[in-house]
Structure 1
Amino acid sequence: MASSDKVPGACPARNGDKKIPPGDPMAATTVMLDKGTAMMQSLKPIKQMSQHLCSFALHSHDPSRQIEAHFYVQRVNQDFLQSAVYDSNSSSAHLIGVEYMVSEKLFNTLPPEEQKLWHSHQYELSFAGSDRSPSHSKGSGACRHARTPKHCQNLRQVLVHVADRPRVNISGDRLPLGPPALMMSPQDVNMGRIKPELVKKRDDAYGISTESILTTRGSITGPEVKNPNADYWVEHGKGFAIDIVETDMKKTAP
């Protein structure tokens, strides 16, 4: 059993409303302070996020544990992107992880042991219809699929590394308890297929059809030969779990 599989002991963070973290309601003075600081501060890193992708993620060591994930992406350069991962696109969404994306060119420069921790978007984009950019209007219920085949072509060439604290979503805890987990992408093998009920729930929420979107992605192509260390679990049936181990602290500088 991985550390992320262990259920934390009883505490207020595990009781009550599964969607709301414990804590007092925002005081009026706090709301005013937050609004004031928002007007004065540049928040430059956050404002660099220019894309919103909605997909699904699986625990590396247990693909049956699946979550809907929303990625708010910043492109740092042509070969490197980084994103904050949330469990929804609402104003009360939980921050559950970070994801890094690199081009195939950069991926191939990584050591083999590092490559095993990364996954591709190839199946997600072309066959699962998972990676998409929803644009949702709450008032009208309108939703459009904004990701074009050209965008998908670019993303299909990237390899991804994502570490999440998804316990809030999976177990219903009110705080992100326990150790983080390495997450992987959907794949068309074994337990890599996303549960139909998750796809339906997401499609219904945005008024979209995964089946219809797939018809627009027939022209997308991926690498002619994929590095065998990408999506390592697909070929080898081995995932990776993060365990928390107590250890002696270093008491002197290197």
Structure 2
Amino acid sequence: MDCVEGNNFFKKSMASSDEKPGSTPVMGPGPTLPGKATTLGSKLVDTGAQMLQSVKPVKQMNMHACTFALYGHDLSRQIETHHFIQRVNQDFLQCAVYDSDQPSARLIGIEYIVSDNIFETLPPEEQKLWHSHAYEIKTGLWTLPGMPELLQDPEHKSLTKTYGKFWCTWQVDRGDQLPLGAPSLMMSPQAVDIARVNPELVKERNSRYGVSAGDAKESRVEMDEPEWINPNADYWKQHGKGFAIDVVQVEMEGTGALI
């Protein structure tokens, strides 16, 4: 989808495929976020809310997975991701995705995960936005930090037969200090040279968590995969084409003439 012709702002800074945004807010060196320090009054509100409110949806996120994701329009851009997962039912998971598991972590996107049974009910055009998980799971790239591999086993056996749709809303890898532009569709690693995760990224992650991807891969080699991975998923593998969103101006419905 193209942007409005002649509108350089939209063309240069609102496409999810832009390597650099048109204008990045800068408020000091490094990854420091723009904005003032949190005031005492705001901290008191936060403390009161923590004591008096239940935040029930957030409390349903009871599992942490660490893995890697690739930008769908540029597979050379690869990031480590931390999924905080809510199991809605046995066939559907929803995940808040962060760039780390630290208190200062930035919320960079969302991923929805469905079983192969649900995926097969989706329209073909929708299926093209999803990626398969079998390779990611069986090679040990996806892990549940802090959990022994034996305890992870049942979850991984289930996940090998799932598909995910992951929208990245904050491209921290390109230096954005705020969530800018349109969301980017992300892909999972695959057994294709251009979609293999940089070994240094994996090595650093594994060292940090005391994980052995080799041992995990060996222990998962017998896990069942889908008998058939739908070719509409991982669409780029068959067609060499990714997807990117451009923000466009449209006529608003139901507003009448505002000007």
The two structures have a TM-score, normalised by structure 2, of 0.88
> How big is the shift at 1:25?
1.2
Contact 1:133 1:147 in 2 (8 A): no
User: What is the match of residue 6 of structure 2?
Assistant: none
Cα deviation, 1:80-99, whole Å, max 9, x if unaligned, reads 11010000000000000011
Q: 3-state SS of the aligned residue for 2:61?
A: coil
Please list every run of 5 or more consecutive structure 2 residues that lacks an aligned counterpart in the other structure: 1-10
> How big is the shift at 1:18?
3.3
CA distance in 1, matches of 2:62, 2:161: 19
Contact 2:17 2:184 in 1 (8 A): no
Q: 3-state SS of the aligned residue for 1:4?
A: coil
User: What is the match of residue 232 of structure 1?
Assistant: 235
User: What is the match of residue 101 of structure 1?
Assistant: 113
Please list every run of 5 or more consecutive structure 1 residues that lacks an aligned counterpart in the other structure: 136-142
User: What is the match of residue 191 of structure 2?
Assistant: 188
> How big is the shift at 1:144?
5.0
> How big is the shift at 1:29?
2.2
Alignment of 1:220 with 2:232, yes or no, is: no
CA distance in 2, matches of 1:80, 1:90: 26
5 Å matches for 1:27-176? 27-127=39-139, 129-135=140-146, 144-145=148-149, 148-168=152-172, 170-176=173-179
Q: 3-state SS of the aligned residue for 2:16?
A: helix
The two structures have a TM-score, normalised by structure 1, of 0.89
Contact 1:100 1:160 in 2 (8 A): yes
Contact 1:124 1:187 in 2 (8 A): yes
Per the alignment, do residues 93 and 17 of structure 1 end up closer, same or farther by CA in structure 2, a change over 3 Å counting? farther
> How big is the shift at 1:147?
5.2
Tell me the number of residue pairs that the alignment of Structure 1 and Structure 2 aligns: 243
Which residue identity lines up with residue 99 of structure 2 in the other structure? Answer: D
